[in-house]
Amino acid sequence: MPHAENSYIKRDVIRVAPELVKQAAEFQAAILADVAGRRGTLHGRIKPVAPTMKVAGPAVTVEVRPGDNLAIHAALAIAQPGDVIVVDGKGDISCALIGEIMSTQAEASGIAGIIIDGAVRDADALCANGFPIFSAGLNPCGPTKSIAGRVNFPASVAGAAIQPGDLIIGDIDGVVVLPREAVPALLELAQKKLDAESKRIAAIGDGDIRAPWLEKALFAAGMLTEGEEL
């Protein structure tokens, strides 16, 4: 039986295509952030609980009041396999909003990972399990479950604007969001950048040490004048 849409939970989300998610997962978050104009990165406080954790998938956005995780439970209930739940926890780390039980539920539901601008707990279990969890910190204190939040609305999470269905990529460097409509073009640019960087690294190994663009940039910035050399 279909559910009526209400003012707090939206179920109809246009997601980035699975084949594009698979392609994007091959790139570092840093490469994608560069080709996106060095925009769309979440604040550096958002880190994987374990350094090996990586995540890629369409965003299910969640907004909560600090210290309350009721809306996250709602998101867990409606998210589809492959989704990444992205939580605007307001940067509050006075208590954890997610722990081992919710992480286990998310993994069993096929969710790709959870990004939260807030605290989590049960870090030993989360690290041992390996299910991707990115957070702003840790705190053993638990949350309340009584305050209305919102699911699948436009959100601002750790300084990045996110629309439901946008592409989320996270790794040891942090998290970047790519607008859904821009993903195909950005993936083409990402491959070109990766090829160029691989070529440059190989050149360094062959003895071409100095960056080829350096002197031109120094002249443009006024750090060198006509006739000067490094």
Residue 3 pLDDT exceeds 80: no
At residue 103, the pLDDT reads 98
Lowest mean pLDDT segment, chosen from 83-97, 151-165, 211-225: 211-225
At residue 229, the pLDDT reads 83
At residue 9, the pLDDT reads 96
At residue 227, the pLDDT reads 82
Average pLDDT, the chain: 95
At residue 6, the pLDDT reads 60
At residue 35, the pLDDT reads 97
H or E segment and range at residue 203: helix 183-205
Q: Which residues contact 173 (CB under 8 A, 6 or more apart)?
A: 28, 29, 30
At residue 172, the pLDDT reads 98
Q: What is the mean pLDDT of residues 24-44?
A: 96
Three-state secondary-structure class, residue 149: coil
| 162-219 pLDDT tens trace | 999 999 999 999 999 999 999 999 999 999 999 999 999 999 999 999 998 999 999 9
Dist. CA 77–CA 79, nearest whole Å? 6
At residue 228, the pLDDT reads 86
pTM of the predicted model as reported, rounded to 2 decimal places? 0.92
Q: Are 169 and 86 in contact (CB under 8 A)?
A: no
Q: What is the mean pLDDT of residues 65-89?
A: 97
Residue 82 pLDDT exceeds 60: yes
At residue 4, the pLDDT reads 53
Residue 42, classified by CB atoms within 10 Å of its CB into exposed (0-12), middle (13-18) or buried (19+), is buried
In this prediction, what percent of the chain has a pLDDT beyond 70? 97
At residue 1, the pLDDT reads 45
Q: Which domains does the chain have, with CATH numbers?
A: 18-180 (3.50.30.40)
Lowest mean pLDDT segment, chosen from 5-9, 59-63, 225-229: 5-9
Residue 10 pLDDT exceeds 80: yes
Q: Are 86 and 110 in contact (CB under 8 A)?
A: no
- The rounded Cα 211 to chain-centroid distance in angstroms is 30
Dist. CA 135–CA 120, nearest whole Å? 7
Residue 226 pLDDT exceeds 90: no
